[in-house]
């Protein structure tokens, strides 16, 4: 295998197809430029409606965009989709796809017979709610699909308890594999830190976090204490309480099989999370992670969760194609 790989490397090199791109030193730290957003389609069916207030369907599809919006009326939309509109006058809809570089735009006009085009040269931005949503009990409603997208980070370096060096994960250095290599749940707060969105479902009694990553979920009753016995669990056991307008989630009852900042831990691990919706689109997230058997003081994590109301949580079944890559890497 190794000889074949070397041979293929030589062959690939000899054909000249393997070219070095401009050097982005330290990639993945400094990756190559991201491809710009583009709009593949924006259409209206029918393009001319029967009468004022009659419906037409807008359809769109874009790629490489971080966010998309259609103005007027429609607002923030997903990567692809359709929406019915019912213009009273002839209206030009503008789809703006924002990504790296300049935003891409495309327009489509829905003609309403016997009416003049809407006179607004620049369509008013779709109304974005600014007030914080509230639960029936008056507390902030944290519900929504959010993305942390690597925004939640460890603050500072872990301070080890003397003598606990043996908890350091060494196989990751030896084998250069990731700790998620077995497709088992990543734990808390790791599940929030991955580049996958999560969905919060919040009622006055219950706070549920559903992670796209590894398809995990946590259910935290609000205002209840932990049960007396907690069976060791990958994602721990969660209960929540309010501290003013901040929801505090206490997580314990973990098994000892996940990894925290490069260290194994014991079943004495506890995580205290704080969720504060500071604006309609953002939750400020903090987590304090403690294991007195391993760390001299709690590890602190912080970051912003950004609302993506236009997204759905997708299906991520890690085990479906979890190959043993050793052979592909020629490292057997």
First vs last C-alpha separation in the chain: 9
- Counting contacts by CB under 8 A, is residue 328 touching other proteins? yes
- Counting contacts by CB under 8 A, is residue 107 touching other proteins? no
Residue 184 Cβ vs other proteins, minimum distance, rounded to whole Å: 10
Which of 101-109, 137-145, 173-181, 225-233 is the region at the interface with other proteins (rule: CB under 8 A)? Answer: 173-181
Report d(CA 212, CA 305) in Å as an integer: 14
In this chain, which of 14, 122, 127, 130 binds other proteins, going by CB under 8 A? 14
Report d(CA 104, CA 58) in Å as an integer: 17
- Counting contacts by CB under 8 A, is residue 329 touching other proteins? yes
Cβ atoms of 275 and 142 closer than 8 Å: yes
- Counting contacts by CB under 8 A, is residue 80 touching other proteins? yes
In this chain, which of 43, 52, 59, 63 binds other proteins, going by CB under 8 A? 63
- Counting contacts by CB under 8 A, is residue 18 touching other proteins? yes
In this chain, which of 119, 127, 157, 323 binds other proteins, going by CB under 8 A? 323
In this chain, which of 27, 105, 128, 155 binds other proteins, going by CB under 8 A? 27
Within 143-269, residue ranges assigned H as helices are 171-175, 190-193
One character per residue 188-217, x = contact with other proteins (rule: CB under 8 A):
-------xx---------------x-----
Cβ atoms of 111 and 101 closer than 8 Å: no
- Counting contacts by CB under 8 A, is residue 256 touching other proteins? no
Q: In 3D, which of 253, 225, 227, 254 has the Cα closest to residue 239?
A: 225
HSE at residue 26, side-chain half, CA atoms within 13 A, is 2
Site for other proteins in 122-161 (CB under 8 A): 149-150
Report d(CA 140, CA 278) in Å as an integer: 10
**Under rule CB under 8 A, how many of the chain's residues touch other proteins?**
68
In this chain, which of 28, 114, 162, 163 binds other proteins, going by CB under 8 A? 28
- Counting contacts by CB under 8 A, is residue 43 touching other proteins? no
Report d(CA 199, CA 180) in Å as an integer: 21
- Counting contacts by CB under 8 A, is residue 297 touching other proteins? no
- Counting contacts by CB under 8 A, is residue 182 touching other proteins? yes
Q: Is 34 exposed, middle or buried (0-12, 13-18, 19+ CB in 10 A)?
A: exposed
Residue 140 phi/psi, 5° resolution? -60, 140
Residue 81 Cβ vs other proteins, minimum distance, rounded to whole Å: 12
Cβ atoms of 136 and 204 closer than 8 Å: yes
Report d(CA 292, CA 270) in Å as an integer: 9
- Counting contacts by CB under 8 A, is residue 320 touching other proteins? yes
What is the binding site for other proteins (CB under 8 A)?
5-6, 8-9, 11-12, 14-15, 17-29, 31-36, 38, 40, 61-65, 79-80, 149-150, 171-172, 175-178, 180-183, 195-196, 212, 311, 314-318, 320-326, 328-331
């Amino acid at each position: 295998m190794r000889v074949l790989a070397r041979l293929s490397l030589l062959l690939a090199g000899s054909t000249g197809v393997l070219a070095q791109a401009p050097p982005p030193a330290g990639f993945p730290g400094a990756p190559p430029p991201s491809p710009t957003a583009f709009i593949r389609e924006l259409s209206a069916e029918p393009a001319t409606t029967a009468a004022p207030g009659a419906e037409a369907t807008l359809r769109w599809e874009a790629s490489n965009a971080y966010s998309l919006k259609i103005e007027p009326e429609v607002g923030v939309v997903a990567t692809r989709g359709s929406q019915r509109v019912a213009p009273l006058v002839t209206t030009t809809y503008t789809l703006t796809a924002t990504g790296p570089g300049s935003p891409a735009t495309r327009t489509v006009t829905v003609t309403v017979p016997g009416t003049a085009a809407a006179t607004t040269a620049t369509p008013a931005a779709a109304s974005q709610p600014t007030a914080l949503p509230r639960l029936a009990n008056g507390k902030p409603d944290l519900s929504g699909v959010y993305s942390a997208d690597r925004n939640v980070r460890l603050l500072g370096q872990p301070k080890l308890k003397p003598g606990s060096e043996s908890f350091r994960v060494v196989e990751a250095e030896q084998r250069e594999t990731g700790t998620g290599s077995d497709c088992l749940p990543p734990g808390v707060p790791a599940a929030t830190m991955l580049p996958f969105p999560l969905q919060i479902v919040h009622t006055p009694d219950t706070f549920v976090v559903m992670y796209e990553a590894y398809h995990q979920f946590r259910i935290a009753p609000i205002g209840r204490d932990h049960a007396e016995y907690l069976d060791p669990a990958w994602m721990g056991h969660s209960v929540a309480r309010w501290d003013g307008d901040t929801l505090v989630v206490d997580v314990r009852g973990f098994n000892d099989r996940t990894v925290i900042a490069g260290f194994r831990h014991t079943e004495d691990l506890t995580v205290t999370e704080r969720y504060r919706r500071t604006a309609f689109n953002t939750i400020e997230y903090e987590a304090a992670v403690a294991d007195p058997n391993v760390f001299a003081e709690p590890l602190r994590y912080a970051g912003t969760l950004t609302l993506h109301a236009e997204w759905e949580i997708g299906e991520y079944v890690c085990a479906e194609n979890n190959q043993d890559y050793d052979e592909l890497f020629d490292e057997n």
